[in-house]
Amino acid sequence: MLKFWIRSVVIGLASAAIIIAAVPSLREHFIPSASPSVANISSTELSFNPAVRRAAPAVVNIYSRQYDRSNRKKLSTQGLGSGVIVSKKGYIITNYHVIAKADQIIVALQDGRVAAAQLVGKDKRTDLAVLRIEGDHLPVIPLNPHYHPKVGDVVMAIGNPYNLGQTTTFGIISATGRSSISAGRRQAFIQTDAAINAGNSGGALVNSRGELVGINTASFQQATDIETYGISFAIPFSLANTIMQKIIADGRVIRGYIGVDGEDMNSLTGHIMNGQHVGGILVVGVDPNGPAQKAGLKKNDIITEIDGHKVTGRQEVMDTVTNLRPGTVVKVTLLRNGKEMTLSVTIAEDNYD
């Protein structure tokens, strides 16, 4: 009889185990749940700490020092900012305005090391500068050449605001392709609502994986003297990297120039011009001493191709031309009075400072 009961209990327990395994929803009736506080933490906690830990060590504090006018042997700290180590060779990208007046540049790493930095080169137009420091096992920020910033992407700004020490602020990408926030700077900026304050300049804008998205450069308030909140700008890393490579190769940025000012074509412009073409750019001005004028381009021409590549807008033309070496001859295809023609233009060097 006893054996019968034992066998029945064993069969019952085995059957219950099989049923519970087959129907997971029944487990909550047999397995004690965690306390509400623990359950809520495990299910709702969201942290970007792993991304910050990946990126933060490569974001450095930069101090620019100048000689005292009355005592050339005395150095005083005149400015501060941030920078990003982007190479094991010690290359650092920062803002031009951070080091513009520096006689000596000091870099402080987050691990406590301090080093005097060499200025490799600078570019006022994009507000970028490249420094280099010597050191072993330098932290390098994660880079992802396949990442393209998109509106709504989560980003964090890492820097040294007001010399408080390294600080991380949080936001999203509010817009891309912003331009002309200050005189002479026409590249496409990333707009973000992550706070960028004095001292953050030159620091890193990173995504949720800790990968470098851009170089923090200004808040709208700093650029316009209008008191605003939630409008800050960063230079896309793709542009910063291009500028850095040019500086490393030539010690400065050599840009191509053809001497035209253009506007993007759209349906309204095409209608006004009595044409159906809505691609390319409309030439609204030609430098009288520039390569385009010498090649025969005129106001109201519509540039549609450069060296066989279709033109989609003004920014693309600027990027294409500036990346060409002076002396290069390119074929420019255009529409004039409804007729297509191709002109040869010799790229000159853009000497704008």
Q: What is the CA radius of gyration of the chain?
A: 29
Copy the structure tokens of residue 128: 């970028």
With a cut of 80, say whether residue 10 has pLDDT above it: no
Domain 154-238 architecture: Beta Barrel (2.40)
With a cut of 90, say whether residue 5 has pLDDT above it: no
Q: With cut-offs at 50, 70 and 90, classify the pLDDT of residue 109.
A: very high
d(CA 31, CA 22): 15
Average pLDDT over residues 278-289: 86
SS3 207: strand
Q: With cut-offs at 50, 70 and 90, classify the pLDDT of residue 99.
A: very high
d(CA 84, CA 142): 11
Worst-scoring range by mean pLDDT, 114-118, 122-126, 272-276? 272-276
Q: With cut-offs at 50, 70 and 90, classify the pLDDT of residue 87.
A: very high
pTM for this prediction: 0.76
Amino acid at 27: R
Average pLDDT over residues 127-151: 95
Give the catalytic positions in this structure: 97, 127, 201
Residues 6+ apart with CB under 8 A from 126: 96, 185, 187, 235, 239, 240, 243, 253
Q: According to the per-residue pLDDT averaged within each range, which of 179-183, 327-331, 348-352 is highest?
A: 327-331
Copy the structure tokens of residue 336: 């004039």
With a cut of 90, say whether residue 16 has pLDDT above it: no
pLDDT at 29: 46
Domain assignments of the chain as residue spans, ordered by start: 1-29, 154-238, 256-349
pLDDT at 204: 96
303, 295 contact by CB (below 8 A): no
* pLDDT 10s digits, 170-228: 999 999 887 655 544 456 889 999 988 888 899 999 999 999 999 998 765 555 555 55
pLDDT at 68: 76
Least Cα distance to 241 among 279, 214, 268, 280 occurs for 214
Class of domain 256-349: mainly beta
Average pLDDT over residues 233-240: 93
Mean pLDDT of the chain: 82
Q: What angle do CA 334, 340, 345 make, to 5 degrees?
A: 40
pLDDT at 297: 92
Least Cα distance to 159 among 105, 104, 112, 196 occurs for 196
pLDDT at 228: 57
pLDDT at 144: 95
Q: With cut-offs at 50, 70 and 90, classify the pLDDT of residue 98.
A: very high
